[in-house]
Amino acid sequence: MFATIAFLWNASRGNHFTPWRSDYVRWRIETYSGLQAEAIGPRLFFQFLLRERGRLLRFLLWTAKMRKIASK
């Protein structure tokens, strides 16, 4: 769980409490889903999170596993 929170905190650097304003997060959502980055606001951001929560969780678990392997 810590790795998940750490990834999200780092990915939204500068916009920790408003991640939909983060250029990096908006770019990642745009490249993944095809949504226009400029159109992503709080409502669209949370809709995306709810719709893709399973895939996002698997991705975050994978990143935690890769980080663990890399630190050995």
State phi, psi for 18 to the nearest 5 degrees.
-140, 70
In the prediction, which pLDDT does 48 show?
94
- What is the rounded distance in angstroms from the CA atom of residue 72 to the CA atom of residue 55? 26
Residue 59: per-residue pLDDT = 87
Q: pLDDT tens, 41-58? A: 999 999 999 999 999 889
* Phi and psi torsions of 52, nearest 5°: -105, 15
Residue 38: CB atoms within 10 A of its CB come to 8
- Would you state the pLDDT for residue 1? 64
pLDDT by residue for the chain (72 residues), tens digit each?
677 778 788 888 899 899 999 999 999 999 999 999 999 999 999 999 999 999 988 988 898 899 889 998
> Given CA atoms 63, 42, 16, 1 in this order, what sign does their dihedral have?
negative
Q: Show me where the domains of the chain are located.
A: 2-70
